Amino acid sequence: MKKCPKCGQTYTDKDLNFCYNDGELLSYLADDAPTRAYSDRPGYADDPPPTEFMGSARVTQDTGWNPPQAPPVVWQGNQANQTNTPFSQYPTYVSPNQTLAIVSLGLGVGAVTIGWCCSSGFILSPAALVTGFIALNQIKKDPQLYSGKGFALGGIITAAIFLVIYLVIIIGYLIAALLSTVG
């Protein structure tokens, strides 16, 4: 027999696991608890059910099903009037190389923005000038393969602006230092 711990209802059905009244998990009464086949201890309601071995596997019966046939020719469209044209390759366009021009612009902008920190602009601005002039030279020689004249000019101009401003600041400090020692 099993008993509901919540409402106290008892059930005689050994296969029933939950109470009809409140849905609580039923527990065996102390004397009716089943013992396990491999153990002498009593079983509990939350133990997994024992494994049952059935007979042979299910055998299905052949219903005479055949796979569908190929679709009708009408479904594939009218192919008699169409000629089979091979695919042609589309013309490709290779964009001109702008790498050095963009590097020049990046170095020039880097020199103007972060070049004041630890005087790193003295490394960035000459690099921007060199890459900018190399890019302009390549663009002049082969304009089909290289482009980015505006980027290269932007890099050269920003690097030159940094160098001019930095040199003016250094000259100003030197003049101030000379005037303070003389006067």
Residues 40 and 109 grouped into a single domain: no
Q: Is 26 exposed, middle or buried (0-12, 13-18, 19+ CB in 10 A)?
A: buried
Is 161 contained in some domain?
yes
- Best CA proximity match to 140, nearest among 94, 85, 92, 101: 101
- Best CA proximity match to 47, nearest among 35, 58, 65: 35
No. of helices (H) and no. of strands (E), the chain: 3, 3
Residues 103 and 178 grouped into a single domain: yes
**What is the residue range of 126's domain?**
99-182
Is 62 contained in some domain?
no
User: Do residues 162 and 111 touch, judged by C-beta distance below 8 A?
Assistant: yes
Is 69 contained in some domain?
no
Is 64 contained in some domain?
no
| Residue 139, pLDDT score | 95
- pLDDT of residue 142 exceeding 90, the answer is yes
What does pLDDT average to over the chain?
82
Is 76 contained in some domain?
no
Residues 32 and 104 grouped into a single domain: no
Is 91 contained in some domain?
no
Q: Using alpha carbons, list the distances in angstroms from residue 36 to 4, 31, 41.
A: 22, 14, 7
Task: From 28, 48, 68, give the residue that closes a domain.
Answer: 48
68-120 tens-digit pLDDT: 777 665 555 555 666 666 666 777 777 899 999 999 999 999 999 998 888 88
Number of domains present in the structure of the chain: 2
Is 160 contained in some domain?
yes
Is 55 contained in some domain?
no
- pLDDT of residue 45 exceeding 70, the answer is no
> What single DSSP character describes residue 74?
G
First-to-last alpha carbon distance for the chain, in angstroms, is 115
Q: What percent of the chain has pLDDT over 90?
A: 41
| Residue 23, pLDDT score | 86
